[in-house]
Structure 1
Amino acid sequence: MKRFMKFIILFAFVASMLAGCAKAPEADNTTAEDSNNQVAETEVQDKDAGTDSESAWPRTYVDGLGKEVIIEKEPQRIVVLHFGYTEYLLALDVVPVGVASLSIAQQFETLNQYEELNTIIDVGETVSPNLEKILELQPDLIIAGAGIHDDMRESLKKIAPVVFKKNYGKWDETLQDYAQMLGREEKAEQYIESSKEIISQTYRELEKYSDKTFVFLRPSSKSEFGIVGSEIYSHYHDSQNGFGMNVPENYPESWAEISLEALVEMNPDYIFFQDKEELCRQKVAEMESSSVWNSITAVKEGNIGYLDISLNTGSPLAIRLASEQILEYLK
């Protein structure tokens, strides 16, 4: 249980970086699958584009602690001290040499497409990275977490320049911030535009469910369920810049712990669990004998889906995978 709680604590930090933003949908006949294929073809062509030609070095980056960090040249050996950052780097075709809590990142379905993940070295736990391992990797940039590694700042600075990431709110703003740090502005814009197209196509395909309500849950040790907030994961619910999935009345904007009775009051048409599938199925099995649980519309109609735990990061990779998994379930 302690190990599970530590995992939840780490994901809570990642969840603070979440929100969605995309172009308002416009009618056309392209499916989300077609869009994903087109995006994949474009990104293969861009894969080796490298640093933007207009990028100048050295550059000054203001990090999450408000500190100005001078980055002398394009970083080639980056160590990241939170596994959740890995997705943003790989979206920009940047492969770090070291990642804290790498074993967690290796479980993410968002990262299964990257063979490069096997070349990365684990540098210890997120909350207590191993300084000796970091030093051995001879990094030229360390990306730490504001609010997590603040006390290690001076020690890390002795190894390499250090930047601290903070909550930038929206996924595209966060990606742009990484790009500004790494000189990948053009790559970021391409990725953002293609991601917005996927979001827009997903919205169109989900319009047939406009009269249905959805909730996104996680198992919880404090109450019956943890519920994923509509504002934190706005890419699911925003009708202008997201998938447009309706939520029931009283659905919280932020992460919240809720009782079974509260879920019954919401009475959603669909329930998606977004965590380790084994844990989620175990939770559902525990509820099967409950008449209260079985009174929920989604339960009565068998509308319970399971999404990969990596979607909790809310990264551009997570948003794309969410589109695939949600549409696949609703087929």
Structure 2
Amino acid sequence: MKVSTRTGKRIKPHYLMLLCLGLAGSMLAACGTDSVQNASGQVGTNQGAAEVPRTGGNAQEGPQGEQTFKDDLGHEIQISGQPERVFAPYLEDSLLKLGIKPVAQWSNGNLGHSYLQEELQDVPKLDFSGGAPSSEVLLSYNPDLIILHTSNYAGDGVYENYSKIAPTYVFNNAAGDVEKSLETLGQLVGKTEEAKQALASYHQKVGEAKAAIEKKAAGKKVAVIRFAAKGVSVMGGNYLCGYVLNQHLGIEMTKLTENENSLNLSLEILPELDADYIFVINAYGQGTDRMKEMTESSIWKGIPAVQQGHVYEVNDEYWLGSGLIAYEKIIDDTVKLMAE
């Protein structure tokens, strides 16, 4: 520590002795604080210093700002500073909301999240159709943080291999509660304020949409029918677009899905479909034949919603998406179709 004096002023001997005693006392007191200098000259915390939990999260503060997080599977990871190269397949929507572009994006074959491609056009795709990419492939992207959106991705030794490359955080199911997972992502990547702002903006949008729908379509029921390669189903109000409509916008779903996340739909069940509005999804363009078969049937044409012209094919790109960007687009569509 340097002691400076004013130019031209001389310190008297007895003042100098008092000053030295004061400095010695300060140095002894500093040894009792939570910063000490080790043999390599680096500053660290005392061994007896406790980690400080962060408010509202699962992080703990460690040496030099290092944070410890526990994921949904019980793994503990340490993150120092703000990650710059993030790999979070199927969480690209939420990352973009936080202002982050990943080092690579999820894809099924060569198809990524179509509604995000304008923002992700320069981000390479990694094909997950055959399972998670090998650690050798991932290593080439040099990530400093890996986030897996579902525990299904972590099996078969994937977690063990990925965690050797970079700290790896695993959600049990990030799509189950997009708002909560966005908050966690914000903590992991050092973007907590951005997460709060994104959620506040979304909640405002939800409030405005609810008011518009209540004014024009109060008490109306909806059904979301998904036509896919493997079959036809009615989506319930607990996940993806159904969650947005039911849990966020407060729209009642058809009674067919009261106790179901998804219900297989056949021509036999079709007459029981009690909905004032029907939203149709052709999943990834693979349900065309099934959709044609059902919608051209006399049973379909006899449904009240069909006769009233309240059937709309919606964009599968984001109606099957998971993240606030997708949710906001779903809300825009719903307001336009039900309240304008």
**What TM-score, normalized to structure 2?**
0.72
Alpha-carbon separation, structure 2, partners of 1:326 and 1:279: 23
Taking a change above 3 Å as real, the CA distance of residues 251 and 234 of structure 1, as seen in their structure-2 partners, is: same
Q: 1:148 aligns with which of 153, 173, 177?
A: 153
SS at match of 1:94: coil
- Show structure 1 runs of 5+ residues with no match: 1-53
Deviates more, 1:86-95 or 1:205-214: 205-214
Q: How many residues align?
A: 268
Match of 2:314 in 1: 307
Correspondence 1:237 to 2:242: no
Query: Identity of paired residues, percent?
Result: 25
Taking a change above 3 Å as real, the CA distance of residues 222 and 138 of structure 1, as seen in their structure-2 partners, is: closer
Alignment of 1:117-156 (within 5 A): 117-125=120-128, 127-144=131-148, 145-150=150-155, 151-156=157-162
Alpha-carbon separation, structure 2, partners of 1:201 and 1:121: 37
Alpha-carbon separation, structure 1, partners of 2:126 and 2:65: 28
Match of 2:70 in 1: 62
Deviation at 1:160, TM superposition (A): 1.7
Match of 1:199 in 2: 206
AA aligned to 2:154 is: H
Correspondence 1:209 to 2:188: no
Would you say the 8 A contact 1:273–1:280 is kept in 2?
no
SS at match of 2:96: helix
Taking a change above 3 Å as real, the CA distance of residues 231 and 124 of structure 1, as seen in their structure-2 partners, is: closer
AA aligned to 1:234 is: Y
Deviations 1:98-146 (A, max 9, x none): 1232743342x2x2552xx122122332523143331111111112231
Would you say the 8 A contact 2:223–2:253 is kept in 1?
yes
Deviation at 1:235, TM superposition (A): 2.4
Deviation at 1:216, TM superposition (A): 0.7
Would you say the 8 A contact 2:226–2:282 is kept in 1?
yes
Match of 2:335 in 1: 327
Deviation at 1:282, TM superposition (A): 4.5
Match of 1:219 in 2: 227
Q: 1:287 aligns with which of 290, 294, 303?
A: 294
AA aligned to 2:135 is: L
Deviations 1:259-289 (A, max 9, x none): 2332321232211023447445554322244
Deviation at 1:88, TM superposition (A): 1.0
Correspondence 1:274 to 2:281: yes
Deviation at 1:91, TM superposition (A): 0.9
Correspondence 1:263 to 2:275: no
Match of 1:97 in 2: 103
AA aligned to 2:243 is: S
Correspondence 1:159 to 2:165: yes
Alpha-carbon separation, structure 1, partners of 2:336 and 2:292: 23
Deviation at 1:64, TM superposition (A): 2.2
Alignment of 1:69-108 (within 5 A): 69-80=77-88, 82=89, 84-101=90-107, 103-107=110-114
Taking a change above 3 Å as real, the CA distance of residues 261 and 87 of structure 1, as seen in their structure-2 partners, is: same
Would you say the 8 A contact 2:235–2:257 is kept in 1?
no
Correspondence 1:177 to 2:184: yes
Deviations 1:182-226 (A, max 9, x none): 111111111101001111111111112113211011114554x21
AA aligned to 1:162 is: T
Superposed CA RMSD in Å reads: 2.5
Match of 2:46 in 1: none
Alpha-carbon separation, structure 2, partners of 1:153 and 1:132: 13
Deviation at 1:73, TM superposition (A): 2.2
Deviation at 1:149, TM superposition (A): 2.4
Q: 2:305 aligns with which of 298, 307, 319?
A: 298
